[in-house]
Structure formats: C-alpha cells, structure tokens
Amino acid sequence: MLHFIYLFTLLIHFYSVNTANILGLFPHTGKSHHMVFEPLLHKLAERGHNLTVASFYPAKNPPPNYHDISFQGMFELRLESFDLNVFETPNIMNKIPRLGRMMTQVLQFRPFAVASLSICEKLVNFSPLSNALKGDYDAVILENFTSDCMLGLLYAYGVTAPVISILSGTPMPWTAERIGANDNPSYVPIITAPLSSRMSLMDRLENTLVNVVLKKWFYDEIQTKEREIIEKKFGKIPDLVELGKNVSLLLTNSYHTLTGVKPLVPALVEVGGLHLDFQKQHIPKFIENFLNESNDGVILFSFGSHIKTKSLPKYREEIFVNALSKLKQRVIWKYEGSGEEGTLAGNILRVNWLPQYELLQHEKVIAFLCHGGMLGMMEATAAGKPMIVVPFFGDQPSNAAAAAEAGIGIVLSYQDLTEDVLSDALKTIISDKMRAQASHVSKIWHDRETEPMDKAVFWTEHVVRWGKSSNLHSTARDLTFTQLSLLDVATIIIVTTTIMIVAAVYFIVKILQIFKKVTKEKLL
Ligand SMILES: *[C@@H]1O[C@H](CO)[C@@H](O)[C@H](O)[C@H]1NC(C)=O
Ligand SMILES: *[C@@H]1O[C@H](CO)[C@@H](O)[C@H](O)[C@H]1NC(C)=O
Ligand SMILES: *[C@@H]1O[C@H](CO)[C@@H](O)[C@H](O)[C@H]1NC(C)=O
Ligand SMILES: *[C@@H]1O[C@H](CO)[C@@H](O)[C@H](O)[C@H]1NC(C)=O
C-alpha cells in the first residue's frame, strides 16, 4: 500500500513538473504553414501539456487539454487562389533578367505586408486573444514569418514566458541574425533566390543586395508599422527588433540533406520532416486501381494547395498534356474540378485531391512533377522520388535550386517551358540513375540521431524547463553590423598598415636623401 502511495505521489510530482501551459500564436493564413505546426502542437498536448492555440485553423478533434482560439473570418484564407494567368501579362522586367528577378524577390512580399498589418490591426482588438494573453504561460510558440505583431502584444500584456519561434520553411532573411546565426550571403542563399550555395560573383551580388533590401523592407514596412498599430492602443513599446531578441529558440522546417548546409547555432534547430507521419491518409479506391493497373510506373503532378492548375492558359496546359501523354508511364494530376472519381484521358488521371505523401511512398509512383513547395519536396525526398520542379514564387526557386544541388531534382522555368524541354526532363527523372540517386538521398535523409518530432519536443521542453537561463543563441545578435563584419577591426588594420607604409617610405626617402648628400659631399 505504502508503495502505491509512494508511486502515486511520484506520478503527481512528475506530472506537475513536466506539464506546462503553452500558448501558440499563428497569425498567418497559409494552410501549408499550419500543416507543419499542427503535428507538434498535437504531440505536445498528447504529452500532457496544456495548450492554448490561436490560429486560422482550429483543430478538428482537439483533446481536452487543447484550447482553440479561432481567427477564422478575419482574413481570406489562401487556398487554391493563385491564378497562373498573372504570368501572361508582358513584363518589362523579363527583358533584364537579373534585375527583374531581384525586383520580383522584393516586390512579391508586398501582399504579405498588407495581410500582416491588417491582421495585426484586428488582433490588437480581438478580445478572445486579449483574454488568452492575460493567462500565465511557461512558453509561447510563435510562427516566425512576416509579422512581429505577436511579439509586440506579448510585451504589451506583460507575458514574460520564453518565446519559441517556428518556421514552415528555411529562415526568412530577417530571421537568422536575431539568434546570432550566420547568414553570410557569400554562401548562404536567400530564401527567395534561385541560387545554390555555390555562387558566381554576380550571384553573390544579387544575394547580398536582396538580403540587405529585404531586411530593410521588413523593418520599415512591417516592424515599424506594427509597432505603431500596437502603440496606438497600448502606449510605447520597445522596437520590435529588440523584442525579436526575446526569442529563445527557432525551429525550422528544413533539413540539410535537402535544403543545404547552413551555419547553425544551438537555438536554430532543424526539424524538417516534422509533418511527415502526422494523420495518415487513405488512397481512394479509384486511384489505387489506377496505380495497380500501371505497368511502367506513375508520375505524380501537383502544384500544391495554393496554385490553381486549372488557371493554366490553354497553350501552356497543352505543353504539359502533350509531354505527359507521350510517356509509357501513367500520370496522376491534381486539378481542381475534376469530378469525384477524377477524369481520365489517355494515360492521365486528373483528380481534385490526392493524398500526396501516401502516393509518393507508393511503389508504383516513380517521380514527382511539382512547384517547389517545401512540404511536397520533403515528402518526395523522404520517399526517395526524383522531381521536376517548376518554381513560381516565394521560397520555391530556392527550394528548387537546393533539390538540384542535392542531385534529386531538375529545375524548369515556367516562363520558358516548351514541350521538348519538359519531355527531356521527364526522360531524365525517370532514368535509373536519377531514381537511384533519389533513393540514396532518401536513406541519408532518414538516418538521423533523432526523429524530427522528438527533436522539436525535446527542445520545446528544454526551453520550458530552463527558459532564459539556458542560452542557445550566439552573442552575434548583440553586435552591430560594423562589429559583426569586423569593419572596425579592418579599419584599424588598414589605417595602421597605411601609416606604417607611409612612414617606411618616408624613412627610405629620407635615408636616400642623406645618402645622396653624403656621397655628393664626398665627391666634392
Ligand atoms: C489550460 O488552458 C486553459 C485555456 O487557456 C485555461 O483556462 C486553463 O486554466 C489551463 N489549465 C491549467 C491546468 O493550467
Ligand atoms: C523571427 O524571429 C526573430 C528572432 O529569432 C525575430 O527577430 C523576427 O522578427 C521574427 N519574425 C517573426 C515574423 O516572428
Ligand atoms: C523582451 O525584450 C524587452 C526589450 O528588450 C525586455 O524589456 C523584456 O523584458 C523582454 N522580455 C522577456 C520575456 O525577456
Ligand atoms: C492493388 O494491389 C494491392 C497489392 O497488389 C492489393 O492489395 C490491393 O487490394 C489492390 N487494390 C485494388 C483497388 O485493386
């Protein structure tokens, strides 16, 4: 009996020590983003932590210790909304490729600024959120994307819990410096550029300029304006750049096997693949039949949840249809409005929806034609399937470049796509060589010291346990640009060296003069 009581108190003790009150704040509307966070939040709830989660995507069957605050209706959700016809309007920028590309990288963020500010404006006065912010928390999990509004609100409500940031892809240009990670543009490609880690001089120039401009843009167009919105209601708060330094941990949905090696600090934890085994989906019967009846394998074609392939202009759609229908292989194409059982034409089955990862893992599926969304690329990498990537915007060009660098992808330009180019690329990705490489990379991808979910949970709980007393960032984040890039040191070295050279020259000249004088006197 005594043993039981002892065991019981021990259990209670463990419970109270190990369960935390965690607040999750996800003020971004992208569904693919939430697909990365949700598995972690559910896992934390499963481990007994008390979660309060404010987002645009309330949980379907939340456990009792998972409390949703819904932002739904505050802003339009971004689902299958992207119309490919935007690429049809002639753009002068295309005439000057490098410059046009750089401008696009900066300008494409404008809609995010509009969305982030509008959401911030509404959230400042959203009472369910205000009530939640009055709670007592052991940690706060924030999405680290294009808004810092939540950091300001946490400060305004005096929430002092350590902040964990989570990113649905590789770090944004303004992310790395705040935990003192190195984003040196000489070899760390920026998330928006189609560059790999090996860059030419012009690439490095582009990478550096876009990096600097985007950081400045984020400060002027988002951080400063969000601060004004918050200060209107709460009075003065510190600069959001300073509040950014409150972040204790940054979980990124990246992993070097696919996304390339980048310098890490302990606070930057790569948990790429977090979403992979969350909520397995069934392959519908009619798709399974289609797979079973194929003799030469199947190619999966999807441009993700955001881009509408239905909006492909006819002449571009024909490029895809013609190239794909020449294959011996079958094709499954995610295409909106295909009817319940899909529509079949020749070897191509068009379906409204497909369980992407389950299909990529299927032995009959041999390759993936995709747009370079991070989640799909990770699924293909994990499943060991080579891909053709046709990137459009955002992080897609850089994801595509990374896959090409890893030897498991071929990048094609949407603007310049022709039937022949696509046919050639298809031939290459279904070759034995490419499939063997993809399967090899997949094995390396899976060979880790810890599963990504366990890693994310471990570091989250580490921050809950130790908060600010466990420093994970490098002190680089407290240095100014001059200090960090050693410009001050370089100045001292250059100035001293110059002085020494000038002095040396001066002495040499003087000695020569004396020498001349002496020889002259001697001659006289
Ligand atoms: C868990 O969170 C909810 C909602 O935020 C809160 O009302 C409740 O008191 C918390 N429970 C515990 C045990 O802290
Ligand atoms: C992301 O986190 C960094 C700190 O690591 C911070 O400076 C930056 O402003 C954050 N951005 C968002 C959108 O949370
Ligand atoms: C966040 O940063 C501000 C400004 O630097 C500081 O006053 C505040 O105490 C910090 N909050 C926490 C939880 O450390
Ligand atoms: C497809 O093939 C698998 C294995 O050969 C079999 O288990 C499954 O029942 C088949 N599915 C259909 C829909 O025929």
pLDDT in tens, 412-471: 999 889 999 999 999 999 999 999 999 999 999 999 999 999 999 999 999 999 988 889
Tell me if 255 sits within 8 A of 276, measured CB to CB: no
Closest approach atom of ligand 1 to CA 132: 5
Tokens of 512: 């020569």
255 alpha carbon – ligand 4 mean position (Å): 34
Give the closest residue to 365 by CA, choosing from 387, 337, 345, 341.
387
Which ligand number lies closest to the CA of residue 16? 1
282 alpha carbon – ligand 4 mean position (Å): 13
The pLDDT mean for the chain works out to 88
Contact partners, residue 344, CB within 8 Å, separation at least 6 = 290, 350
- At 384 the pLDDT is 97
Determine whether the shortest distance from the Cβ of 246 to ligand 2 is under 6 A: no
Determine whether the shortest distance from the Cβ of 329 to ligand 2 is under 6 A: no
- At 24 the pLDDT is 92
User: Which residue type does 465 have?
Assistant: R
Work out the percent of the chain whose per-residue pLDDT is above 70: 92
- At 338 the pLDDT is 83
Nearest CA to ligand 2 atom 11: 144
3-state SS, residue 460: helix
How large is the angle between the packed helices 224-234 and 149-156, nearest 10 degrees? 30
- At 12 the pLDDT is 46
Give residue-wise pLDDT tens across range 297-327: 999 999 988 888 888 899 999 999 999 999 9
Pocket (CB within 6 angstroms of ligand 1): 21, 50, 52, 67, 132, 135
Complete edge-to-edge strand list for the sheet that includes strand 330-334? 343-345, 348-351, 330-334, 298-301, 365-370, 387-389, 409-411
- 386: alpha, beta or left? (left if phi > 0; alpha if psi -120 to 50): beta
Q: For the chain, which ranges sit under pLDDT 50?
A: 1-2, 7-17
Burial of 77 (0-12, 13-18, 19+ CB in 10 A): middle
Determine whether the shortest distance from the Cβ of 246 to ligand 3 is under 6 A: yes
Closest approach atom of ligand 4 to CA 288: 13
Nearest CA to ligand 4 atom 12: 289
Question: What Rg, from alpha-carbon coordinates, does the chain have?
Answer: 28
- At 499 the pLDDT is 97
Closest approach atom of ligand 1 to CA 65: 1
Matching residue, tokens 């989570």: 166
Matching residue, tokens 């995507």: 57
pTM of the entire structure?
0.85
176 alpha carbon – ligand 3 mean position (Å): 19
Q: What are phi and psi of 157, to 5 degrees?
A: -90, 5
Closest approach atom of ligand 2 to CA 176: 5
